[in-house]
A = this chain, B = another copy of it.
Amino acid sequence: MEWSIQEVVRASGVTSRALRHYDDVGLLKPKRIGANGYRFYDADALVRLQRIRILRQLGLGLPEIGRVMTGETDNGTALRAQLAALRRESERLERQIAAVETTIAKWEGGEQLMAQEMFEGFDHTVYRDEVEERWGAEAYATGDRWWRSLTAQQKRDVGQQHLDIAADYGTASAAGQDPASGEVQAIAQRHYDWLKTSTGTVSKGYFLGLADMYVADPRFAGNYARDGVEYAGFVREAMRAYAEHNL
């Protein structure tokens, strides 16, 4: 008993295109190919097709299914690997969802200018409340006057410097360097200098406070993240080491 491709389609719900694809990739060869090129499947092929479909519905890729079919990998191993992959993907999605929710909340909270300001430099106005609360209204006013005195060009330069510093931190972090190493501490030094230029004076407490803010405040995540991998924690460690030895 053998079936034409259309009969298989009706029985299995798999499209003929998919069947031809399985044939192309060697996953399911027809039992016989007529002189006219027509594909004919037998019962064994239908059994294999059923298994293929089940594994596909469970999310396995065709190459992996091929390995299972040939016995190269057994069902349990393949399914457990798939389960682990699905769990990872699920967790990633959950984080993604949390990130979108946070962003929506922020955007609706009137902080929609965040991204732009971030790029134009250290957007001190966003942190006005915090700065005044931690270091006094006078400290904020000083920084504000200095900032306003800059030309747009100068502001962008300051911003660019910050971006360079952030990028270098990111490179060091990605390279697996120690936050306390000489290279990273040199970046921290530039970071400190940049802050001093931007804000006038930088106390140890201010510097350490900033370090904590980098980790605690998601608004910084955009600045200290690369392709979704945040390294604010790395920056904090580098800043702490720097403060410990130099301030």
Contact call B57/A80, Cβ cutoff below 8 A: no
Known: A58-B96, A83-B97, A86-B93. A50 touches B11 (CB 8 A): no
Q: Closest Cβ of chain B: how far from A166's Cβ, in Å?
A: 8
Determine if A163 is an interface residue (Cβ-Cβ < 8 Å).
yes
Contact call B13/A115, Cβ cutoff below 8 A: no
Q: How many copies does the complex hold?
A: 2
Contact call B100/A54, Cβ cutoff below 8 A: no
Contact call A83/B58, Cβ cutoff below 8 A: no
A164 to B79, CA, bound (A): 29
Contact call B100/A82, Cβ cutoff below 8 A: yes
A58 to B97, CA, bound (A): 8
**Contact flags A145-174 to B (C-beta < 8 A → 1, else 0):** 000000001001100100110010010000
- Interface residues of chain A: helix, strand, loop or mixed (majority): helix
Name the B residues within 8 Å of A163 (CB-CB): 11-12
| Residue tally, chain A, CB below 8 Å to B | 55
Determine if A71 is an interface residue (Cβ-Cβ < 8 Å).
no
Q: Closest Cβ of chain B: how far from A87's Cβ, in Å?
A: 7
A58 contacts which of B46, B103, B119 (Cβ < 8 Å)? B103
Name the B residues within 8 Å of A97 (CB-CB): 83, 86-87, 90
